[in-house]
Amino acid sequence: MFPLQRNRRLRTNESIRSLVRETSLSPQDFMLPMFVAEGKDVKVAIPSMPGIYRHSLDNTIKEVKEAWDLGIKAVNIYVKVSDNLKDNKGVEAWNKDGLMQQTIRAIKDAVPEMIVMPDVALDPYSIYGHDGIIENGLLVNDATVDALTRMSLSHAEAGADFVAPSDMMDGRVLAIRKALEENGHHNVGIMSYSAKYASAFYGPFRDALDSAPVDSQNIPKDKKTYQMDYANRIEGIREALLDVEEGADIVMVKPGMAYLDIVREVKNAVHVPVAVYQVSGEYAMVKAAAERGWLDHDKIMIEQLYCIKRAGASIISTYFAKEAAVILNK
């Protein structure tokens, strides 16, 4: 009761505020998403994501070393696949000498302690831009799971620490876990994109990988038959719980800022680490507003990352990782 309790006593100065602060943030909380392209000495700017590039493998290694030196301990890898390697079944996805597999090996050779989590989904390899195999105008679940399992095994054989299925097919975590166990990859983990919503915030990402669904009358024009309805909350919790039962070591909520209620609900429901993906559209919005002088870029960036961590994230996958690490390290 006032005046016996005056809450402002704990806000008097920065020393006391930092002493009682409930949430901490450090570069070790971050995972850096990276886009890899074919070629040498390639650095292609992504216009809708200022400051983010598609790098060839040699430049990717430089970026990984820089991230490690900043205190970032994990990278999430995506590859830009040449059109001539795309088909409906994603066969290139499990090519042992494919770009993703080369990238995993190169990163582990260059920075062995960096945690490498390659993306597992067929959209970069699909002529249709979908996360799975299309048959008779529909995305089929079980055949896609078989392809994702082969893809995951190839990532494990290349040296991945975790595989990261982002496709939202039913049963894929169990199938991948069984395949990893049967092939001796007992220590390769699974970070499952468990509550991944069909969001408009992904737009710039699809520019980065040229992986948007193609506009055709014969196939779905969006990903709403497998990614989740953003009006739903309980469904996201159920998806996360099922993935844990099937063997996921980490579950992810995606997108981030607009879905912090889901982050907290999932955090309260599961007993594994929760990852959150602050996606391309969320990144681009901050960049665009800051460029116009409407927001203080660094303050908004750090505030948003703190909010994601406060909501329950153990890992934050963010394009801000390097910029934020520089500030936090100071």
Detail the residues annotated as belonging to a binding site for Mg(2+).
Answer: 239
Q: Give SS3 for 96.
A: coil
Strands 189-196, 115-120: pairing kind: unpaired
CA-closest candidate to residue 78, choices 45, 62, 55, 96: 55
43 in active site: no
End-to-end Cα separation, the chain, in angstroms: 39
E strand segments, 7-159: 30-36, 43-45, 53-55, 74-79, 115-120, 133-135, 138-140
The one catalytic residue in 80, 86, 108, 196 is: 196
89 in active site: no
For residue 112, which amino acid is it? P
The one catalytic residue in 108, 223, 254, 309 is: 254
Detail the residues annotated as belonging to a binding site.
Answer: 239
Q: Which residue has the tokens 């994990």?
A: 74
What is the distance, to the nearest Å, from the Cα of residue 189 to the centroid of all Cα atoms in its chain?
15
Whether a cis peptide bond, with omega within 30° of 0, leads into 273 is no
Calpha distance 135→313 (Å, rounded):
37
Q: What is the dihedral of CA 153, 158, 162, 165, to 10 degrees?
A: -50
In the numeric block, which tokens belong to residue 130?
């979908």
Active site residues: 196, 254
